[in-house]
Structure 1
Amino acid sequence: MKKIYLILLSLLCIVQATMAQSGGIITGRVVGTDTKEALIGATVLVKGSTKGSTTDSNGEFLIREVPAGTHSLRISYVGYSYPDIPVTVSAGGTTDLGTVEMNSSAMLGQEVVVSASRRPEKLTEAPATISVITSRELEELPSFNVGELLARQKGVEFIRTGVLGINVRGMSSAFNPKNLQMNDGRLSTLIATGLPLGALSTVVKEDIERVEVVLGPVAALYGPNAHNGLVNTLTKDPRRSEGTTLALTAGNQQVFSGRFRHAMVLSPKFAFKVTGEYTKGLEFAYDDTVYFGATQRATEIDLDRKFNTLRGEAAVYYSLNNKSDIIVSYGGNNSNFLAQTNAGRNQIKDWQVHYLQTRYVSPRVFAQLYHTWSNTDDTYAINQRTQNYLSFKNAGFSEEEARSRSYTEQWFGATPAAGVALARGSVFKDASRRLNGEVQYNNRLVGVDYIVGAQYQRDIANSRNTYLFDLGGPIVIDQVGFYGQLERQLGGGFKVVAAGRADNHELYGFNFIPKAALVWSQNDHSVRLTYGRGIAAPTILNLEGYLFGGLLIGNGEGYTLSDGTKIEKLQVESINTIETGYKGKLSEHFYLDANAYYSMSKNFLSPAINIATQGRTVTHRGSTPMSEVIPGTPEAGAGFLLTYVNFGEVDTYGADLGLTFAPTQALNFVANYSYFGYKIDKDDLTNDGNKDGKVNQLDLSINAPANRFSLAANYSQGRFFGSVFTRWVQEFDFFSGINVAAEADEELGLKENARFGRTWNYGPLGGFTNVDVSAGFRISNYFTAAAQVTNVFDAQVREFVASPFIGRLYSVEMKVNIPSFTKKRTE
């Protein structure tokens, strides 16, 4: 803890002690020239400062503590334009701009984003493929699940499993740590596995200002595992979004969700917000069974399809002066649900995730320190527990004893008197923690904008010896990174961007990650050429996993097979990507965003695969005999072992196309298409992951459809809003761990709708078209009612292995927005 206090003290030393002079207030109301209706969620910013606001349900805004003097005010709203407004503020006074009428101009792509360069810039000028889920889209989504909007973003492989899974640019497995997710500059991932928090997130939908989705490597600025992309969630500032929101959602599958958000400015220096959510429901019925032995199949024991989540956050904002703030926030989540993995399904039981974060924010300096911790005691793998249970029941043990011992042991023998129990633990415990610190500085020097920063991370993984090799205590790994970016305007609309990152990892040593881009922007058009390198460091689970008594083991030391074949320990995966893209207005009503990319991966990290093939056994992990690694293993070695390996070289390539047609400000049509392909040399045996002498799908599975297409029609004007969304996903094969979903293949011994090893192969995934419809009505400035039907035609869709067939989902939502009374009094 002493180190934490020293880091915090060093960050606080950055803060200037001088308090600002008394400021003034800017108020006003924003409407559209064409409709005279209030523009809800328009952003109003005082240029050159952190001061700003967002318009409420009546289009009104208020900005406090603006320094006395003349400023430039920028108002932005998708589909509308307005020149910057000069405004003069007097100390202690209020400047009322009255009603500002924004002109309709179909100015698509003019949003300001921060994720591509870690600094504000127009979307069209960002040196990356990036899309934004806006506050307006979030406000009009009649569902508690924000992830549903990710399906509408180009290049995003959206996967619905009941409990939502996301991937960016393909290469999905049941575990996917290669896509980084962040909330307010904070990693939103589990410690030991590196997996996105997903249902364990602490963020409530009503507190999200926007979500920025960046495709491709962004590791130069965000660090290892910002490899296939970044999903960056930014929450609302209470000073720009005062008031109280209450929301109730209900639907089929026994879904109920209650959510609230309250934000208030207590004084010119203090503001706070608090959020909360309780959501529950029932997953669709599962048809899968567990296969035990040569022929036996049985229904999973004690599978609980009910899910519930209790989450919330609280934050205090303190203004040191007119340009700098300290923000202290806390969030927590307790969840119960079913999770799909590459070794079956997990029954998540009271899994908790918490964080405590302190940030210092100013125009030049950003600093933060945060602590994340994770806890569960009763989570277990359903399929392993079922097999353990069957082993005791088949041997004649009582129901009570079979159930109680199924959590930790499997019986090998014909009767209770003739046999032995071996450790085959199905329970996952977790008491892991992560510490992160970061300092960033930006400025301008001789015409060059620059950003420099440093990050520190300590992972403390503790499974209490249930799914990791941590019998001797928690696994502690430190890493530090330094990054920088230079940006210079060259004239003629050209700018060049160069970035680099130096990382030092306790296990992998030094890695350098460069990025470079050339961007031309002029008259609402932008063309870019980008090179980026990314790395994916194997997670603690990849290296030190020890699941089900040794059926799945991490590859932190390498393996030896019975014929002498060596499988090397995991190395860092690297990916080099070249991308070209165009964003711009083809006409007043057409906006195009297109990109194409080619990526070259080396030491590609595989999903879990069985390395005991061709009648061979695994004899050693590193220098340790498998009989010592897995008690009860014969001296000849393990005849089945799932682990992770590196492949040689794999090339992936693709293109994303987004076309928006906005005939009016109220109506727009959006078409998105994505293509994804890969190339692997089947004659190169470095790509033979399981070392069976040939390269095929059982070695490397990209697990992504080649083609995806979506079409959306969106309408929002006055009190009514609605959308129709259609998504088509091409059929594709999926291999990950024990899970298989693929077409029949005689060479691989695959049959559709038949057993394959320990699972059932229902055939390929994808191959479906879904239609979603939603509509809503703003009854008044305070009340909104909305409804949504997902999968309108009730197509029986299976989007992921180990997930159920998903049918129609419908929901209705009532929302109440109560404005801040303190704001009204101030006005």
Structure 2
Amino acid sequence: MRHLFAGFLLILWLPLCGWAQNVQTVRGTVQDEAGRPLPGVTVLIRGTGTGDATNEQGAFELKADFAKAPVVLVVSFVGFAAQNIPLSGPETALVVKMRTSGMLDQVVVSASRIEESIGQVPVTVEKIDQRQVNNITTPDLVSGLARFKSIDVSNSSMLLTSFSTRGFSSSRSDRVIQLADYADTQLPSLSSNFGNLLGTPILDVASVEVVHGPASALYGANAFNGVLLTNSKDPFKDTGLSVRLRGGNRDLLDGQLRYAVKLGERVAFKISGGGIRANDFTGNNLDATSKLLEPANNPAGSNLGYDAVSVYGDAGNTFGATGGALAGKTVFLPGFSEADLITGNNLTYSVKVSPSLAVKLTDNIKATASYRYAATNTTFQAASRYRIVNTGAQQGKLAIEGRNWVVRAFQTRDFSGGRDPQTDGSYNLGFLGGVLQLQQAVGANGQPVVDASGRPVTYAQRYFGTYAAAYNAALQANGGNADAAALTARTTANTVAPVLQPGTQAFKDARDRIIHNPTPGQGARLILRSVLSEASGQYNFNSEIVDVVVGGSYRRYDLGSDGSLLEDTRESGRIRNYEYGAYAQASRAFLDDHLKLAAAGRVDRFQNFGTAFSPRVSAVYSVGAEKQHNFRTSYSRAFRAASQDAQYIRLDVGRAILVGNVGAGFRGYTTGLATQLPGILAPTRAADLAALEYQSPGLKLEKVNSGEVGYRGQLTSKLFVDLDYFYSAYDNFIATRNFIGNVDGSRPTTAQIGAAAPFRFANAALPTRVIQINTNVDQTVKSQGAGISLGYTFSPALTATGNYSYNALITKDFQPGTLSFFNTPEHKFNLGVDGLLLERKLSYNANFRRVSSYTFESTFATGTIPTAHVVDAQLGYTVAKLHTTVQVGGTNLFDSTNFQVYGAPSQGRIVYAGLLFDID
């Protein structure tokens, strides 16, 4: 791929000769409806990259070849309806009047992979234009999408956000795909998008489009519940320099840059990127971990100790007969907080740089070579909380596009520090806390602690031993008061046999060793070194009878973690996995373009899952002379493959081992077995043991059949409405399941069960463990939802917007031990205002969001997300002569409770002030 990329660059830089044209000059001015000049308006000659931007007086000048008359000028500006102006000859005093844009004037490409009016798209689509992107107040672009209809965002930390539509939200966005100019932005090792980390830099964003619901028919299997497509600015059309500088609370510093220049009429170059840093929010949830995940847990505050959500290394010990009066009780270690483990260094940052070169090979063919580098420090939540250090990705992309076709190829390589253990990289907070407890204890005399046989004694062993002795002695002394005995035992153990203390040199030394060690069971280092390669193409056949789109893609993963996350090893090399597919879509308009019918289908082939077919059929009926009322309906079927890490994971988290499930499946027993030991192993209870048997075949593709109806229309010239309703039914639903089995997939013998009981301790020498896998639920899972958006434009000075979203999981009764991960509020609404005052010099926007309380399920933590009320706002004043806009604003201005992922911190107030320089 590197050689291909270098060769392509060489071709683009070859001398470009013989392209002189017989041109003449076109001059004019662009004004608003009141006759005031509009600076910054883009004026292009359709079908070419030739164009100009208006100056402060609204004037433009460009060259056009009238040998090919008529020449069509395309005049566009954010907030106004684009105009196409045909010219048969040169003009020197052209006046163009722009009218305020209605919502139906928007053009989208994501719904059908071709340009079409947003009013006539067959599915629910949200388009966020450049003006709305500039109004986003959150540090990360994706996080700001929460203000739009039926889009849910989940923040693991300040700069790490995932998005979802139509339910089943998570911190990983594994049911939707996220694209930047059609290149996937995921980190392949984790099958996760880190917000907009590898996406389009914010100043280079032309628009964002979100397709709601299944889109596999055109985008492939994991476009299961939606697509997020970011479109970047064209360097031929949007030239100049833009710089944004901001500073705010939490030591926020934000600098962004974009520069684009035309090197003649055939070559254009741009570079964009920037960096943001701040003090991140830190997890501090001291609730008791759900008994769904930790069945033996004690209530929060128990003197026996308890497993807290944001505490790590607080492992439990269920005492047997040797524990005396503690037999059958579980005592938990004092653990370490998130702040302890990151040693108070909650710095987060994100940096990226993205240069690209575009060359017009002919008037109708453009080639683009681009590169993107992105790196971050942040905190990510999945099966555990991970401190992400010096982690990111590089992506190279090549594209050649004509008027009706495009060919693309890209390759993404992720990284986390280096493979050398001495380099700083990401680490697992759960592993770090657990391994710290397994260090050899040091006594008050400074000497290592050993037992009577001279074997090392760990901090965990010393604590549990001291606790048990103190508990039994106190229980006998106080007449059997168990609560008082537990308090005495905890106080004694914390005083006489404390665990490693944060801030001490011993803690620092042990932590440093562990976070640099990737060996499972000994260290916490997470190594990412996976590669995602993809090639794709599309061709559009347009005719008077039917319009047809055909395309296809090939994708290959080469997954590597050196055994720190996946079942690969440093010696075995990367795990290879592939998928490929082809699609076609046919559409035709009837009744003078008032009825549009379309059908699409895609066939995909997977290395691990065989072949799947995804169809979509749709109809749009438009009413009114200007098609201002549009009714749509569609049916889609989509497929979802488990994420790459779910297919190949092998991660021992102590209380369970997470194993991939793409082989022959697993046989074992339900976790109810643990509560019936040891009696159930008696020969006389063989039938009872058989009743607890569990079996899971290897994973299959999850399938959804979804139907939707909707209406999008301009009720008046100022009132816009968009509403939709959907109903979805999922088969082979992928969920997680815990059971007791052998890690090789076989059912344990009674001897193996007895040796491994009570299944709470990680013992790599034994085959029998509590195992967690992704598996298909043998029941149909159903959900439904609806949404409505309203927008009323009183004048350029005031536009009021509002939206409401409803989502519900209809299937509530799952098999015991199964989590649905629906993770979506039933009710959510936004109310917003924005506008331009003082002859467009003063801009403002404000948004209020209310999100109802809901249950959030994950393999890390399960609990209740409280109701959130969040206010965001921004104010800007433009000094045109200085090409400068002064900005002040913030998100969650009233610092209200704002949890989005259970176990992650609340996303509190961030306020900022800064400058935006924009020179065309």
SS in 1 for 2:823: coil
Picking from 382, 397, 403, the partner of 2:429 is 382
Aligned to 1:428: 526
The Cα shift of 1:621 comes to: 3.6
Which amino acid in structure 2 is aligned with residue 133 of structure 1? I
Is the Cα–Cα contact under 8 Å of residues 642 and 737 in structure 1 kept in the other structure?
no
Cα pair distance change 1:7/1:539, threshold 3 Å: farther
Which amino acid in structure 2 is aligned with residue 772 of structure 1? D
SS in 1 for 2:103: coil
SS in 2 for 1:594: strand
Question: 1:337 aligned to 2:375?
Answer: no
Aligned to 2:857: 735
Question: 1:129 aligned to 2:124?
Answer: yes
Cα pair distance change 1:688/1:72, threshold 3 Å: same
- In 1: Cα distance, 2:144 partner to 2:55 partner: 22
- In 2: Cα distance, 1:765 partner to 1:153 partner: 20
The Cα shift of 1:197 comes to: 3.5
Deviations 1:43-66 (A, max 9, x none): 655456676666677656666676
SS in 2 for 1:388: helix
Question: 1:716 aligned to 2:712?
Answer: no
Question: 1:273 aligned to 2:273?
Answer: no
The Cα shift of 1:266 comes to: 0.9
Aligned to 1:138: 133
- In 1: Cα distance, 2:613 partner to 2:869 partner: 43
Identity of paired residues, percent?
24
Is the Cα–Cα contact under 8 Å of residues 720 and 776 in structure 1 kept in the other structure?
yes
Aligned to 1:675: 806
- In 2: Cα distance, 1:8 partner to 1:581 partner: 48
Question: 1:373 aligned to 2:413?
Answer: yes
The Cα shift of 1:810 comes to: 0.4
Question: 1:103 aligned to 2:99?
Answer: yes
Aligned to 2:211: 214
- In 2: Cα distance, 1:172 partner to 1:58 partner: 48
Worse-superposed segment, 203-212 or 561-570: 561-570
The Cα shift of 1:245 comes to: 1.1
Is the Cα–Cα contact under 8 Å of residues 714 and 720 in structure 2 kept in the other structure?
yes
Unaligned runs of 5+ in 2: 285-309, 317-330, 418-424, 442-456, 460-505, 670-691
Which amino acid in structure 2 is aligned with residue 531 of structure 1? Y
- In 2: Cα distance, 1:238 partner to 1:512 partner: 38
Matched residue count: 755
Is the Cα–Cα contact under 8 Å of residues 804 and 830 in structure 2 kept in the other structure?
yes
Picking from 111, 119, 133, the partner of 1:116 is 111
- In 2: Cα distance, 1:703 partner to 1:509 partner: 30
1:593-672 equivalences in 2 (<5 Å): 593-606=722-735, 608-609=736-737, 611-612=738-739, 617-623=740-746, 632-633=763-764, 635=766, 637-638=768-769, 640-647=770-777, 648-672=779-803
- In 1: Cα distance, 2:526 partner to 2:644 partner: 15
Which amino acid in structure 1 is aligned with residue 826 of structure 2? A
Is the Cα–Cα contact under 8 Å of residues 202 and 313 in structure 1 kept in the other structure?
no
**CA-atom RMSD, angstroms?**
3.0
Deviations 1:113-148 (A, max 9, x none): 111111111111111111111112233446653224
Worse-superposed segment, 26-35 or 355-364: 26-35
Cα pair distance change 1:529/1:199, threshold 3 Å: closer
Picking from 549, 552, 561, the partner of 2:668 is 561
Is the Cα–Cα contact under 8 Å of residues 78 and 130 in structure 2 kept in the other structure?
no
Aligned to 2:402: 362
Cα pair distance change 1:134/1:429, threshold 3 Å: same
Deviations 1:229-270 (A, max 9, x none): 111001111111111111101111111011111110111111
Is the Cα–Cα contact under 8 Å of residues 425 and 547 in structure 1 kept in the other structure?
no
Which amino acid in structure 2 is aligned with residue 670 of structure 1? T
1:801-816 equivalences in 2 (<5 Å): 801-816=902-917
Is the Cα–Cα contact under 8 Å of residues 130 and 212 in structure 1 kept in the other structure?
yes
Worse-superposed segment, 202-211 or 221-230: 202-211
- In 1: Cα distance, 2:394 partner to 2:520 partner: 35
More strand by share: 1
Question: 1:688 aligned to 2:815?
Answer: yes
- In 2: Cα distance, 1:349 partner to 1:545 partner: 21
Which amino acid in structure 1 is aligned with residue 548 of structure 2? Y
Cα pair distance change 1:49/1:263, threshold 3 Å: closer
Aligned to 1:791: 892
Aligned to 1:22: 21
Cα pair distance change 1:439/1:701, threshold 3 Å: closer
Cα pair distance change 1:200/1:495, threshold 3 Å: same
Which amino acid in structure 1 is aligned with residue 252 of structure 2? V
Which amino acid in structure 2 is aligned with residue 641 of structure 1? I
Deviations 1:717-772 (A, max 9, x none): 4100001100000000111103022xxxxxxxxxxxxxxxxxxxxxx214121111
SS in 1 for 2:434: helix
Aligned to 2:311: 289
Cα pair distance change 1:79/1:507, threshold 3 Å: same
- In 1: Cα distance, 2:704 partner to 2:93 partner: 51
1:530-569 equivalences in 2 (<5 Å): 530-548=634-652, 551-557=657-663, 558-562=665-669, 563-569=692-698
1:24-39 equivalences in 2 (<5 Å): 24=23, 28-34=28-34, 36-38=36-38
Is the Cα–Cα contact under 8 Å of residues 743 and 767 in structure 2 kept in the other structure?
no
Which amino acid in structure 1 is aligned with residue 805 of structure 2? S
Question: 1:391 aligned to 2:432?
Answer: no
Is the Cα–Cα contact under 8 Å of residues 44 and 237 in structure 2 kept in the other structure?
no
Which amino acid in structure 1 is aligned with residue 204 of structure 2? D
Cα pair distance change 1:179/1:61, threshold 3 Å: farther
- In 2: Cα distance, 1:477 partner to 1:446 partner: 42
- In 2: Cα distance, 1:60 partner to 1:228 partner: 45
The Cα shift of 1:793 comes to: 1.9
The Cα shift of 1:547 comes to: 1.8
Is the Cα–Cα contact under 8 Å of residues 19 and 320 in structure 1 kept in the other structure?
no
Deviations 1:547-576 (A, max 9, x none): 236722222232211454212221111111
Aligned to 1:757: none
- In 2: Cα distance, 1:62 partner to 1:509 partner: 57
- In 2: Cα distance, 1:380 partner to 1:6 partner: 33
Aligned to 1:73: 73
Deviations 1:185-208 (A, max 9, x none): 111112133212325325321111
- In 1: Cα distance, 2:44 partner to 2:780 partner: 47
SS in 1 for 2:768: coil
Aligned to 2:609: 508
- In 1: Cα distance, 2:400 partner to 2:800 partner: 41
- In 1: Cα distance, 2:230 partner to 2:526 partner: 29
Is the Cα–Cα contact under 8 Å of residues 281 and 307 in structure 1 kept in the other structure?
yes
Cα pair distance change 1:247/1:66, threshold 3 Å: farther
SS in 2 for 1:149: helix
Is the Cα–Cα contact under 8 Å of residues 408 and 424 in structure 1 kept in the other structure?
no
Picking from 701, 704, 712, the partner of 2:821 is 701
TM-score with structure 2 length normalisation? 0.77
The Cα shift of 1:88 comes to: 3.3
Is the Cα–Cα contact under 8 Å of residues 202 and 332 in structure 1 kept in the other structure?
no
More helix by share: 2
Cα pair distance change 1:70/1:21, threshold 3 Å: farther
The Cα shift of 1:535 comes to: 1.2
Question: 1:308 aligned to 2:349?
Answer: yes
Is the Cα–Cα contact under 8 Å of residues 341 and 432 in structure 2 kept in the other structure?
no
Cα pair distance change 1:488/1:361, threshold 3 Å: same
